[in-house]
């Protein structure tokens, strides 16, 4: 059985409410094992014998039915989540000011050059992530990264906690 972390995109923002106890119940009903959630931003930790792509499709279908709307899901194994935490190129910065933007595939090599609205932010490409250091805070940033449009961001405190929780599910 593989331990996974599912990162839901665009829940509990803009009126799209999903209670985390409902997310856990949806996962359990779908046959996912040891389901746990972490904070209200749409983080699900679980174990399954299914492949990453099968788990993604299953969760997107179940969430779509529950929410009556499309809910994109990005999935990582426990090992991948730990690797994202370890690969943080801005590890010398405060973890709350660094985000990993999770993508469904590797970012294009020109993702950083095509970014707009850059002030003091610094960026680096990961395996299927774009790391961004927001020295002045994410809330005030005007940074736009077209390659990250379909992704979902988590700060490095959250990434570390999700990696830890996923390891416990293994």
93 shares its domain with 160:
yes
Is the model's pLDDT at 13 over the cut of 80?
no
Which CATH number belongs to the domain containing residue 32 in this structure? 3.30.70.1280
Q: What is the largest CA-CA distance in the chain?
A: 45
- Number of domains making up the chain: 2
pLDDT of residue 111: 98
Average pLDDT along the chain: 95
Nearest of 14, 53, 10 to residue 152 by alpha carbon: 10
Q: pLDDT grade, residue 41 (50/70/90)?
A: confident
Is the model's pLDDT at 94 over the cut of 90?
yes
115 shares its domain with 67:
no
Residue 10 CA to residue 124 CA, distance in Å, equals 23
Domain containing 66: what range?
A: 2-77
Tokens of 163: 């990696």
73 shares its domain with 85:
no
85 shares its domain with 163:
yes
Please give the C-alpha separations between residue 102 and each of 26, 66, 72, 130, 140, in angstroms, as whole numbers: 22, 23, 11, 7, 21
Is the model's pLDDT at 170 over the cut of 90?
no
């Amino acid at each position: 059985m593989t331990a996974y972390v599912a990162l839901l995109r665009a829940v509990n923002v803009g009126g799209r409410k999903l209670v985390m106890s409902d997310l856990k119940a949806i996962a359990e009903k779908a046959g996912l094992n040891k389901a746990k959630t972490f904070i209200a931003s749409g983080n699900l930790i679980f174990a399954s014998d299914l492949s990453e792509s099968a788990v993604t499709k299953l969760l997107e279908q179940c969430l779509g039915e529950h929410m009556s709307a499309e809910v994109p899901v990005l999935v990582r194994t426990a090992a991948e989540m730990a690797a994202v935490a370890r690969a943080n190129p801005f590890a010398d910065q405060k973890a709350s000011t660094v985000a990993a933007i999770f993508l469904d595939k590797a970012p294009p090599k020109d993702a950083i050059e095509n970014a707009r609205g850059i002030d003091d932010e610094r960026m680096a490409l990961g395996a299927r992530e774009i790391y961004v250091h927001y020295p002045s805070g994410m809330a005030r940033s005007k940074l736009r990264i077209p390659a990250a449009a379909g992704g979902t961001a988590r700060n490095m405190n959250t990434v570390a906690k999700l990696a830890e929780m996923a390891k416990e599910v293994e």
